[in-house]
């Protein structure tokens, strides 16, 4: 009798326990390559600051040659706390500093170089910028990272087997001296063109040195291993962007995969190497007074945000300190405006209190319920059964809402799985589902933009290589930015101004004053053949104002004659349209008759805005007043970094020269091809 009673009690306890603590459902198995914890933590940073600062700040060049006098580095008021405070206020999570650029100048007192702050005039050679910045980052709760270029145009050992150990010693010196480093930034720059000194880099040694000192650091390069370059410096990751890639057999620099592969990653790639978007808030990477009015607009920065963070990449935005050693007011003001625009865009998640249902839930378990994607916890997620590769969710906003943004996140610790997304909304009148937008990859974060619609119900269908695992969604109504005007000038010197915002009024000035609603209203194109400065703003009916846009023009090319080369397309290089181009053979002449003599202070070359274009890299330049007697102005000169950042190149001469005819001889293209492309050529007389 007692045995039966105890058996009954035991059975009751087992049943009760099973009701209170149901068996947990097995989570989805990881799919393909997966991130380390450090890579997942890194991706959640999303946005941080790049700082290019050094001798180039004072010499107006992008790549110093290593021969510059280190005493030119003498900022009058370095304030790294101001950098850190600005980054913090901008919503950034860290700062990466160019501790050593290609010129070899070190921002600390290196024992392995004689081209350092020790030899500079700054603080009588006793300063240490890395110490000041690392301290400031810790004070403001920011991550600290370093860029050290393996290329060194100053060190005598560069180009010899001994240099690899010199660079490893340099890495060791920095990475052991300034506390935690969250990212070590490498590029693959190597030597001065095909005839310059080359170094066979020992990447294995460099990586071992990093990890020995900073085991949790993310290493950036074209191919990682921590994160990768995404193929351009314009801020645009691929609409399809996998965090996986096949890196075996590749290395940074010329040994990297094609930029198109870097831009999109590779589905099923064996390595987890997420993309980082590096782009500058100004046209160049180092500060120049000439770019004070060329800081990117909020509209452009928001577009970059959507094509970087919004496409499964981190955003590394360069903000170069000025010659005082402080972030310029134009840059800091724009950063605050950019933060405000992001906050306004994502201020109100319309799905936060929505009803939501799914076509499938993993084992019908509450642990993987679709409700997890609305709980603001990245580490909870909706998952479906293993054999379900296509699943959908339906969101009921409870009332009609107007929206134009959709945010999606995968739970990446289990890998990147989603290959396609289809979004529909319920047409309330017709009571039918209508397509809203489509996308491919999601990854850590994907933000889709589309024209505003008003609907109560939204349906999202996911197609995946393994059962979808979705961590979060968000539905938003983002204020549409008032487009900044676009200023252009024709070959004949006629200026036109356009604005993509319909019905916006455009006001402009040509006297370098700031435009306002009291300035001249743009009603049609106007002549400006002799050059000048045009500033314009757009103002909408609701008094919403765009930012001011500035364009500076020199002498218009009307009447110029291209003597060489011959061809139907040669006029494209002086037609005022940067989207057209002409070709010229390497080592052949580009000879242009300016129709009259000018005192030239320099010239301009506009490349095609495409990192895969055969843009001109090295060139000779001669000038003449009579087409018989020639003066050499530049021999085997280079447009530094034009391969990665193909923007207008304005070259100023050491002293003015008189010329009626200019002769440019392309010596090398960035692709090594037998021809180069020219979008525009211009002169600088001011």
Backbone angles phi, psi at 70, to 5 degrees: -60, -20
Angle between helix axes 129-139 and 80-89 (nearest 10 degrees) is 40
Confidence category of residue 197, pLDDT binned at 50, 70, 90: confident
Give the pLDDT confidence of 419-477 residue by residue, as tens digits.
999 999 999 888 999 999 999 999 999 999 999 999 999 999 999 999 999 999 999 99
Q: Which residue has the tokens 């890998």?
A: 415
Confidence category of residue 82, pLDDT binned at 50, 70, 90: very high
Supply 305's token pair: 């945000």
pLDDT at residue number 196: 67
Handedness of CA 181, 184, 185, 189 (dihedral sign): positive
Supply 30's token pair: 């990881």
Query: CA 118, CA 124: separation in Å to the nearest integer?
Result: 8
Rg (alpha carbons) of the chain, rounded to whole number: 29
Assign 3-class secondary structure to 545-572: ECCCEEEEECCCCCCCEEEECCCCCHHH
pLDDT at residue number 5: 54
Is the bond into 565 cis (omega within 30 degrees of 0)?
A: yes
pLDDT at residue number 6: 46
Supply 187's token pair: 């590029």
Cβ atoms of 259 and 233 closer than 8 Å: no
Supply 257's token pair: 């995969």
Confidence category of residue 480, pLDDT binned at 50, 70, 90: confident
Confidence category of residue 417, pLDDT binned at 50, 70, 90: very high
Residue 10 has pLDDT above 50, yes or no: no
Measured over all CA atoms, what is the biggest interatomic distance in the chain, rounded to whole angstroms?
124
For range 642-660, the mean pLDDT? 95
Which of 142, 220, 207 minimizes the C-alpha distance to 180?
A: 142
Residue 4 has pLDDT above 80, yes or no: no
Angle between helix axes 329-345 and 298-306 (nearest 10 degrees) is 50
Please report which residue ranges of 181-237 form alpha helices under DSSP H: 203-213
Which of 485, 503, 494 minimizes the C-alpha distance to 525?
A: 494
Task: Tell me what the pLDDT averaged over the chain comes to.
Answer: 94
Query: CA 307, CA 303: separation in Å to the nearest integer?
Result: 6
Cα 499 to Cα 36, 313, 333, 495, distances in angstroms = 46, 30, 23, 14
Ordered structural domains, the chain, with CATH: 37-343 (3.20.20.80), 355-476 (2.60.120.260), 486-553 (2.60.40), 561-684 (2.60.120.260)
For range 123-141, the mean pLDDT? 98
Hey, which bits of 319-379 come out as E strands?
A: 355-358
Give the pLDDT confidence of 320-342 residue by residue, as tens digits.
999 999 999 999 999 999 999 99
Cβ atoms of 247 and 223 closer than 8 Å: yes
Confidence category of residue 502, pLDDT binned at 50, 70, 90: confident
Tally of CA atoms within 13 A in the half-sphere of 530 that contains its CB: 2
Confidence category of residue 639, pLDDT binned at 50, 70, 90: very high
Confidence category of residue 194, pLDDT binned at 50, 70, 90: low
Give the pLDDT confidence of 234-261 residue by residue, as tens digits.
999 999 999 999 999 999 998 999 999 9
Q: Which residue has the tokens 């091809």?
A: 673
For range 382-399, the mean pLDDT? 98
End-to-end CA distance of the chain: 110
């Amino acid at each position: 009798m007692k045995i039966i009673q105890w058996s009954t009690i035991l059975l009751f306890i087992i049943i009760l326990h099973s009701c209170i603590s149901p068996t947990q459902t097995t989570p989805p198995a990881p799919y393909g390559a997966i991130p380390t914890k450090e890579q997942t933590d890194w991706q959640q940073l999303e946005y941080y600051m790049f700082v290019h600062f050094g001798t180039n700040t004072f010499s107006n060049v992008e790549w110093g040659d290593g021969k510059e006098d280190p005493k030119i580095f003498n900022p009058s008021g370095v304030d790294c706390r101001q950098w850190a405070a600005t980054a913090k206020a901008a919503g950034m999570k860290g700062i990466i500093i160019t501790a050593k650029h290609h010129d070899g100048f070190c921002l600390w007192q290196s024992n392995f170089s004689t081209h350092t702050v020790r030899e500079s005039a700054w603080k009588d050679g006793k300063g240490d910028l890395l110490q000041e910045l690392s301290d400031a980052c810790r004070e403001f709760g920011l991550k600290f990272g370093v860029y050290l270029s393996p290329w060194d145009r100053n060190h005598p050992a560069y180009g010899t087997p001994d240099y690899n150990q010199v660079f490893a010693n340099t890495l060791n010196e920095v990475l052991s001296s300034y506390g935690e480093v969250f990212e070590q930034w490498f590029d693959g720059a190597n030597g001065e063109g095909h005839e310059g000194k080359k170094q066979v880099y020992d990447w294995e040694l460099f990586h071992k040195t990093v990890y020995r000192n900073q085991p949790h650091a993310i290493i950036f390069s074209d191919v990682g291993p921590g994160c990768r370059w995404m193929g351009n410096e314009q801020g645009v990751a691929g609409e399809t962007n996998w965090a996986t890639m096949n890196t075996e057999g590749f290395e940074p620099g010329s040994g990297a995969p094609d930029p198109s592969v870097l831009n999109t990653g590779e589905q099923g790639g064996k390595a987890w190497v997420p993309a980082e978007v590096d782009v500058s808030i100004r046209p160049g990477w180092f500060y120049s007074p000439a770019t004070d009015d060329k800081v990117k607009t909020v509209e452009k920065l928001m577009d970059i945000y959507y094509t970087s963070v919004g496409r499964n990449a981190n955003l590394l935005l360069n903000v170069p300190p000025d010659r005082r050693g402080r972030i310029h007011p134009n840059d800091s003001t724009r950063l605050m405006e950019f933060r405000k625009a992001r906050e306004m865009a994502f201020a109100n998640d319309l799905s936060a209190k929505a009803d939501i249902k799914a076509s499938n839930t993993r084992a019908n378990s509450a642990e993987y319920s679709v409700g997890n994607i609305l709980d603001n916890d990245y580490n909870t997620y909706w998952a479906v059964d293993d054999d379900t590769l296509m699943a959908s969710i339906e969101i009921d906003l409870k009332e009609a809402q107007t929206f134009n943004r959709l945010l999606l996140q995968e739970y990446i610790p289990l890998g990147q799985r989603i290959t396609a997304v289809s979004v529909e909304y319920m047409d309330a009148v017709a009571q039918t589902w209508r397509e809203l937008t489509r996308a491919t990859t999601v990854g850590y974060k994907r933000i889709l933009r589309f024209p505003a619609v008003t609907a109560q119900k939204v349906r999202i269908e996911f197609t995946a290589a393994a059962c979808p695992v979705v961590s979060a969604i968000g539905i938003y109504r983002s204020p549409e930015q008032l487009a900044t005007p676009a200023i252009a000038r024709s070959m004949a010197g006629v200026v036109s101004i356009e604005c993509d915002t319909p019905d916006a009024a455009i006001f402009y000035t040509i006297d370098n004053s700031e435009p306002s609603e009291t300035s001249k209203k743009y009603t049609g194109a106007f002549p400006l053949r002799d050059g000048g400065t045009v500033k314009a703003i757009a103002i909408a009916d609701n008094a919403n104002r765009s930012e001011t846009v500035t364009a500076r023009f020199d002498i218009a090319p009307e009447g110029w004659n291209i003597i060489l080369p011959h061809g139907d397309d040669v006029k494209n290089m002086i037609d005022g349209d940067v989207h057209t181009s002409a070709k010229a053979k390497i080592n052949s002449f580009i000879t242009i008759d300016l129709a009259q003599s000018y005192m030239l202070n320099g010239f301009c070359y506009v490349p095609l805005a495409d990192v895969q274009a055969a843009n001109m890299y090295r060139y000779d330049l001669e000038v003449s007043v009579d087409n018989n007697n020639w003066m050499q102005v530049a021999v085997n000169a280079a447009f530094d970094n034009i391969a990665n950042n193909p923007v207008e190149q304005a070259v100023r001469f050491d002293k003015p020269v008189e010329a009626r005819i200019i002769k440019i001889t392309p010596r090398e293209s960035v692709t090594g091809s037998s021809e180069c492309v020219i979008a525009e050529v211009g002169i600088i007389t001011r």
